[in-house]
Amino acid sequence: MEGESAADECYRPLSAEEEGGDGSDAFGIGSDEFGDKVENGKLGVESDAHENFGDSFFDNWEERAVDGIAELGCINFKEIIAKEIMMCHFPDRLVAFLFYSLYANMNSFAVRKNKIRRNVRNEVTQQEFVCFRKGSREMGSVNNGMRRKREPKVETRCGCETEMRVHVHSESGRWITSYFQDVHNHELLDDRLTFMLPGHRKMDAAALEQMNMMLRVGIKMPQIYSSFVHTAGGFQNLPFLKRDMYNQTGKQRRLIGGDATACLKFLESTAQANPGMFVRYLVDKDGCLVHLFWSDNCSQLDYSLFGDVVAFDATYRKNKCMCPLVVFPGVNHHNQTIVFADALVANENEQTYT
């Protein structure tokens, strides 16, 4: 056919002979592939929606329907997220803080711990987590140019009201969200710069061990940081800065000679928070720690239930203090290894083990 394109040929109406002559088609008389009824030029589609959704399913359909992507932007996703967070239950405060930190990292800001409330037994019953820019700088810390010669630091506190409060549920003992507000009065950072906030910078144990190993062979800190950046594929993929590496080396240097004291302080603070924890240690005439034994509440409960068989194992000087670590393990009813107690000893004679 001249003057007609291939598309016109495909979409031209069929003649009576092509339709079948008797008004029937390939799918049967007066029907189509799906058996829809044609009434007044429209499809009379029979649906069972009223059986699944009720008779009022199609009422006010024009008002309730979302008109494509244009009206999708009108949905307040922050309110939906706030409702979901208000329903969260956490086993302790640390899990709640980690959850809120993850949420802040996804939304390009950082959080910090703020206020706590205690009951008459001095137990923490409420914890508040706020945006890192909440509050204002104290007047005593304002540099007026007369006290110090260096330039004043940039002020980050701007009174942001974003916060999240959790409290202990009286019946279940779990931490639940009591208040949540996500309204910032400042511009949020770009996603590529969020990792630079102090609340999101951290060095894991593997990175610390690799840094210490490279320092022991004489590699300088800038070269070590460049190696980490090259391995991660860019500065934005590395969860810490060069300053954090210097801070970690300084912290390790301060712990040399004082790690025993820090360990005892940690165990004593844990014993105060958990009165059932057992901690005993001995020092020599010079004041050096020689024996340390500890067992927490969970380990003692496991021993009362599964203490019929107690194993004994001592790793030979695998730590920095070059002291044997004695472990008293057992097996529970799930055939899993559990620990009843641990000890650090300075020597391995009969009196020590007794």
Task: Check pLDDT > 50 for residue 30.
Answer: no
Same domain flag for 253 and 266? no
40 falls within a domain: yes
Task: Give me the pLDDT at residue 39, please.
Answer: 45
Task: Check pLDDT > 70 for residue 173.
Answer: yes
Residue entry with tokens 């030979």: 316
Backbone angles phi, psi at 310, to 5 degrees: -120, 125
Confidence of residue 6 (pLDDT cuts 50, 70, 90): very low
Domains identified in the chain, total number: 3
Task: Give me the pLDDT at residue 224, please.
Answer: 92
**More confident: 309 or 154:** 309
Q: What is the dihedral of CA 236, 242, 247, 250, to 10 degrees?
A: 150
Q: Which of 10-14, 75-79, 127-131 has the highest mean pLDDT?
A: 127-131
Same domain flag for 41 and 178? yes
Same domain flag for 173 and 54? yes
Confidence of residue 269 (pLDDT cuts 50, 70, 90): confident
Task: Give me the pLDDT at residue 223, please.
Answer: 93
Domain end marker among 225, 240, 257: 257
Task: Check pLDDT > 50 for residue 36.
Answer: no
Task: Give me the pLDDT at residue 45, please.
Answer: 45
146 falls within a domain: no
Same domain flag for 85 and 176? yes
Same domain flag for 44 and 185? yes
Structure tokens given for 126 = 């409420």
Cα end-to-end distance, the chain, whole Å: 107
Lowest mean pLDDT: which of 119-133, 134-148, 177-191, 196-210? Answer: 134-148
How big is the chain by its Cα radius of gyration, in Å?
A: 34
Structure tokens given for 82 = 């706030």
Domain end marker among 257, 281, 304: 257
Tens of pLDDT, residue by residue over 67-104, are 554 554 555 556 666 677 777 888 888 888 888 888 88
Q: What percent of the chain has pLDDT over 70?
A: 69
Task: Give me the pLDDT at residue 309, please.
Answer: 85
Cα separation values, 270 from 97, 114, 126, 189, 274, Å: 20, 22, 20, 38, 6
110 falls within a domain: yes
Cβ(111)–Cβ(129) below 8 Å = yes
Q: Where are the alpha helices (DSSP H) in the chain?
A: 6-11, 16-19, 49-53, 61-64, 68-72, 77-86, 93-106, 205-216, 221-232, 242-255, 259-273, 297-306, 350-353
* Euclidean distance between CA atoms 175 and 125, whole angstroms: 9
Same domain flag for 98 and 124? yes
Tens of pLDDT, residue by residue over 273-306, are 777 888 888 877 766 777 888 898 888 888 989 9
Task: Give me the pLDDT at residue 33, please.
Answer: 44
Total number of residues shown for the chain: 354
Same domain flag for 41 and 112? yes
Task: Check pLDDT > 60 for residue 222.
Answer: yes
291 falls within a domain: yes
Domain end marker among 214, 232, 257: 257
Give the chain's mean pLDDT.
75
195 falls within a domain: no
Same domain flag for 266 and 241? no
Angle (deg, nearest 10), helices 242-255 and 221-232: 130
- For residue 135, the cross-strand partners are none
92 falls within a domain: yes
Range of the domain at 338: 260-352
Task: Give me the pLDDT at residue 25, please.
Answer: 46
Structure tokens given for 205 = 């144990």
Structure tokens given for 312 = 């004994």
- Averaged pLDDT, 179-203: 82
- Averaged pLDDT, 123-142: 80
165 falls within a domain: yes
Task: Give me the pLDDT at residue 120, please.
Answer: 87
Cα torsion angle, 19, 22, 24, 28, sign: negative
Least Cα distance to 338 among 325, 328, 346 occurs for 328
Task: Give me the pLDDT at residue 236, please.
Answer: 79
* Euclidean distance between CA atoms 53 and 158, whole angstroms: 50
Same domain flag for 56 and 164? yes
Cβ(142)–Cβ(157) below 8 Å = no
Same domain flag for 63 and 158? yes
- Distance from the Cα of residue 296 to its chain's centroid: 26
- Averaged pLDDT, 226-247: 87
Same domain flag for 211 and 179? no
Task: Give me the pLDDT at residue 352, please.
Answer: 78
Tens of pLDDT, residue by residue over 335-354, are 899 999 988 887 777 877 77
252 falls within a domain: yes
Same domain flag for 336 and 324? yes
Angle ∠(285,290,295) on CA atoms, nearest 5:
135
